[in-house]
Structure 1
């Protein structure tokens, strides 16, 4: 596991804890704005994890594909992911 993957995993574990906390907040009837702020924080961690995974993919898989002259598929994969991230 490389550094990007380790950092992504840590962000995912942290967001998992936040999501569990958010569920508890809702079950306890906590103030909606507080719940919403926690959801935004969890989303930010998920976004960070996704970017770290994409960074790792570009630095390793895409770079390797360029070396072997078959990068088109890898480029299309990254563009597809980026389009999903911006279609919100």
Structure 2
């Protein structure tokens, strides 16, 4: 079962993943060219950061759009719990 979920953040997620893809291609080329380990590690770090940023954006987008629909006009205690959950996800 596939549900289509296009949100405003998705183009930015794609951009970040394409950036990670470019960094990863660069890492492969660097290893094949026997570049210095420090240079390779630096590029691998860039790949990790780009993927991590994309993941966080997808999670926050989901929370903002999908959970918000479910919570809607729920009691204040439930809305507060969801708001707290959204806030803590910045530490992912």
Equivalent in the alignment of 2:40: 35
Give 1:4 shift: 1.3
Any stretches of 5+ residues in structure 1 without a counterpart? none
TM-score, normalised with respect to structure 2: 0.71
User: Please, which runs of 5 or more residues in structure 2 have no aligned partner?
Assistant: 1-5
Shift, 1:14, TM fit: 0.8
Q: After the TM superposition, list the runs of 4 or more consecutive aligned residues in structure 1 that deviate by more than 6 angstroms.
A: none
Contact 1:4 1:55 (C-alpha < 8 Å) held by counterparts: no
Question: Match of 1:4?
Answer: 9
TM-score in terms of structure 1 length: 0.74
Structure with higher helix content = 1
User: For 1:3, what is the secondary structure of its paired residue?
Assistant: coil
